[in-house]
Amino acid sequence: MVTVDLFRLSRSDLSLGHVRILREHNRLFHAVVSYRNTEEQEDTQSYRLVADTRNHAIMSVLSWANKEFGGHCVLLPLRSAPRSLAFA
């Protein structure tokens, strides 16, 4: 799998975790969310979503995050792979 994008998952001024978008050779995209729920556990937890497109993976993460953390979540880009890698 190739890393396509890295994002910081945030809500207002609070950083909730990180999101890594990966692309398989068969063109499926995986969104892996790593987050820490300090109220319940101190360990980092992760959640994985699978999508047909990069945009669908990103929208799925936002939908999941809004349900999990109560809405108004945003993804802030940390790094993007060159387009030649993202869609090769």
Residue-level pLDDT, tens digit, the chain, 88 residues: 888 899 999 998 788 999 999 999 998 999 999 998 766 667 889 999 999 999 999 999 999 999 999 889 999 998 655 554 444 3
Write the DSSP assignment of 11-23 as a string of letters. ETTEEEEEEEEEE
Task: Quote the pLDDT of residue 41.
Answer: 66
Instruction: State the residue for tokens 């992760």.
Output: 46
| pTM for the whole structure | 0.80
What is the three-class DSSP state of 7? Answer: strand
Domain boundaries, the chain: 2-81
- Antiparallel, parallel or unpaired: β 2-11 and 14-23: antiparallel
The amino acid at 66: N
Helices (H), 3-80: 54-69
